[in-house]
C-alpha cells in the first residue's frame, strides 16, 4: 500500500515539475507568439508541443529544439504566420512541415498527418485534423506525447510512463513500424541508448534481425544523419555492455572498425570527449592503417571541409607526410600548411588513442588552442626594394626558397640567411 501511494505521489510530483518546465519554456522563448497566431486562426485551430522537446523535459535533458504540431494545413499555417508577421520557410512542405523563425529561434510546425502509403523509405501522407491518428503513425510511444502551452498532456500511448519506466516501445506492431521506414532500426538503437533502463526484448531483437537488410534502401544521407544523432548521445559508453547494439551498428556501418576502442576510451577519458564534435568522433572510429577512410569518404557524402580534416589526421599518423612525431616543429608545419583545426584534431586523436591520460599532450593542446598561425616575415616588396629584384619568375623563386628555409628553421630567418639565399 505504501509503494502504491509513493507511486501516485511521485507521478503527481513529476507532472507538476513537467508543467512548470513547459511554462518556463513558453516564457523564455518566443514560442508563445506562434501559439497565439495559430490559436487565432479559427475557433477550431489548435497547436501543441510534440515529440523531442517533451521527451527531453520528462527525462531532465537540455531542450535544444522545439517541435510543434497543429491541426491546420501547411497552407493555413503559412497564411497565419504571414498575417502575424512571423518569418518562415517551407522546410518540408511535402510532409507538412514549416519552420518559423523568431529572434534567431527556429520552430518546426508540422500539420497533423496520416500515412496513406509507405515503402520502407518514405511515406506519402495526407493532412488530418485527428490528433490520435497523428500519434498512431509515429514510431515510439515516447515520441507521441503532446502538450499545450500550459503543459496539459495529450498522451494516447502512455509515452510519459514509458520514459519513467525506462522502456522504448514501438506503437503497434514493431515489424509493421520498421517496414514502414527501415531507418527506425537505427532510431530504435539511439532511443534505447538514451532512455532504456531495461535489456532489449527478445521479440524486438528477432524483428530487427529479420528486417536488417531493409537498411540498404535507406539513403546514405539519412543514415549518416541518424548516426550523427547517435554519436552525439551522452550514453555511448552504454554500448560497452550491449553486444547486440554494437553488432547492429557494425552491420549498418562496417567502417566503424575502432568503435569498441573509442567506447572504452570514453569510459576512461570522459572529459576529453566533452568538446569533440561528431565528425571527429566518426574519424576516431574509422581511421586506421588501411584504406578504410578512403572507402568511407567514397561511400558517404562527407563535405570537402571535413574530408580535409580526415586526411590531415590520416596523413600525419600513417606517415604519408613523413612526420608523425608530435613535437612543436612538426605541429608548427601542420599549423602553417593545414590550419589550427588540423593541429587540434591531430593532438586530440593522440590523446584519445593513448591508453593513459597524458598531461604533456593536454598542455600541447592548450598551447595550440591559442597559437597564431605563422606568417612569412619577408614579402615581395622587401626583395624588390632591398635587392632590386624585378617582378617575375625570379622574384617568385626567391620567395619560395626563403619560405622553405624559414620553415626548415622552425619559422625563423635572419637577414644574413636572406642575404645568403638571394646572393647565392
CATH number at residue 63: 3.30.460.10
Kindly state whether residues 22 and 77 are assigned to the same domain: yes
Q: What is the pLDDT of residue 119?
A: 82
pLDDT along the chain (424 residues), means of 10: 39 75 90 95 94 92 93 94 94 84 94 87 87 95 95 95 96 96 96 94 97 96 94 83 94 95 88 88 94 93 94 85 71 94 95 86 93 92 90 92 92 91 84
Kindly state whether residues 108 and 244 are assigned to the same domain: no
Q: What is the pLDDT of residue 343?
A: 96
Give the count of domains, the chain.
4
Q: What is the pLDDT of residue 356?
A: 81
Q: What is the pLDDT of residue 5?
A: 31
Kindly state whether residues 321 and 408 are assigned to the same domain: no
Q: What is the pLDDT of residue 94?
A: 74
Non-local CB neighbours of 311 within 8 Å, separated by 6+ positions: 293
Average pLDDT, the chain: 90
Q: What is the pLDDT of residue 50?
A: 96
400-424: burial string, b at 16+ Cβ within 10 Å, e else: eebeebbbeeebebeeeebeebbee
Q: What is the pLDDT of residue 237?
A: 85
Contact 111, 122 (CB under 8 A): no
Kindly state whether residues 242 and 327 are assigned to the same domain: no
Dihedrals phi, psi of 114, to nearest 5 degrees: -130, 140
Q: What is the pLDDT of residue 1?
A: 40
Kindly state whether residues 52 and 104 are assigned to the same domain: yes
Q: What pairing do the DSSP bridges indicate for beta strands 113-118 and 123-127?
A: antiparallel
pTM: 0.86
Kindly state whether residues 338 and 400 are assigned to the same domain: no
Kindly state whether residues 349 and 395 are assigned to the same domain: no
Kindly state whether residues 147 and 13 are assigned to the same domain: yes
Q: What is the pLDDT of residue 274?
A: 82
Kindly state whether residues 303 and 398 are assigned to the same domain: no
Kindly state whether residues 197 and 268 are assigned to the same domain: no
Kindly state whether residues 275 and 387 are assigned to the same domain: no
Kindly state whether residues 283 and 242 are assigned to the same domain: no
Its domain, for residue 320, covers 254-374
Q: What is the pLDDT of residue 6?
A: 40
Non-local CB neighbours of 17 within 8 Å, separated by 6+ positions: none
**Of the residues 124, 141, 165, which one is the last residue of a structural domain?**
165
Q: What is the pLDDT of residue 324?
A: 59
**Of the residues 355, 374, 393, which one is the last residue of a structural domain?**
374
Amino acid at each position: 500500500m505504501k509503494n502504491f501511494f509513493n507511486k501516485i505521489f511521485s507521478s503527481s510530483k513529476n507532472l507538476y515539475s513537467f508543467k512548470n518546465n513547459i511554462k518556463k519554456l513558453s516564457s523564455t522563448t518566443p514560442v508563445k507568439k506562434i501559439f497565439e497566431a495559430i490559436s487565432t486562426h479559427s475557433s477550431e485551430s489548435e497547436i501543441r508541443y510534440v515529440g523531442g522537446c517533451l521527451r527531453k523535459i520528462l527525462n531532465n535533458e537540455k531542450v535544444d529544439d522545439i517541435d510543434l504540431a497543429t491541426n491546420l494545413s501547411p497552407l493555413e499555417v503559412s497564411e497565419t504566420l504571414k498575417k502575424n508577421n512571423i518569418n518562415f520557410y517551407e522546410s518540408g512542405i511535402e510532409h507538412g512541415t514549416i519552420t518559423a523563425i523568431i529572434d534567431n529561434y527556429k520552430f518546426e510546425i508540422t500539420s497533423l498527418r496520416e500515412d496513406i502509403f509507405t515503402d520502407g523509405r518514405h511515406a506519402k501522407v495526407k493532412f488530418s485534423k485527428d490528433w490520435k491518428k497523428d500519434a498512431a503513425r509515429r514510431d515510439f510511444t515516447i515520441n507521441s506525447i503532446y502538450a499545450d502551452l500550459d503543459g496539459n498532456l495529450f498522451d494516447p500511448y502512455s509515452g510519459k510512463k514509458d520514459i519513467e519506466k525506462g522502456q522504448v516501445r514501438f506503437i503497434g506492431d514493431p515489424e509493421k513500424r520498421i517496414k514502414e521506414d527501415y531507418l527506425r532500426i537505427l532510431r530504435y538503437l539511439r532511443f534505447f541508448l538514451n532512455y532504456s533502463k531495461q535489456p532489449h526484448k527478445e521479440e524486438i531483437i528477432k524483428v530487427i534481425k529479420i528486417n536488417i537488410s531493409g537498411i540498404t534502401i535507406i539513403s546514405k544521407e539519412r543514415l549518416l544523419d541518424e548516426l550523427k544523432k547517435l554519436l552525439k548521445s551522452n550514453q555511448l559508453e552504454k554500448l560497452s555492455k550491449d553486444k547486440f547494439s554494437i553488432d547492429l551498428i557494425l552491420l549498418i556501418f562496417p567502417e566503424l572498425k575502432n568503435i569498441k576502442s573509442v567506447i572504452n576510451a570514453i569510459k576512461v577519458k570522459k572529459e576529453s570527449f566533452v568538446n569533440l564534435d561528431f565528425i571527429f568522433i566518426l574519424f576516431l572510429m574509422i581511421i586506421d592503417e588501411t584504406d578504410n577512410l578512403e572507402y568511407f569518404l567514397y561511400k558517404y557524402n562527407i563535405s570537402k571541409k571535413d574530408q580535409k580534416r580526415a586526411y590531415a589526421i590520416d596523413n600525419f599518423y600513417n606517415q604519408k607526410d613523413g612526420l608523425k612525431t608530435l613535437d612543436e616543429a612538426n605541429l608548427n608545419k601542420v599549423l602553417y600548411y593545414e590550419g589550427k583545426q588540423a593541429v587540434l584534431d591531430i593532438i586530440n586523436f593522440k590523446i584519445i588513442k593513448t591508453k593513459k591520460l597524458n598531461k604533456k599532450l593536454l598542455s600541447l593542446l592548450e598551447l595550440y588552442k591559442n597559437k597564431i598561425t605563422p606568417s612569412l616575415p619577408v614579402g615581395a616588396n622587401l626583395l624588390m626594394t632591398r635587392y632590386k629584384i624585378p617582378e617575375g619568375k625570379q622574384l617568385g623563386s626567391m620567395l619560395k626558397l626563403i619560405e622553405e628555409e624559414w620553415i626548415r628553421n622552425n619559422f625563423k630567418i635572419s637577414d644574413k640567411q636572406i642575404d645568403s639565399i638571394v646572393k647565392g
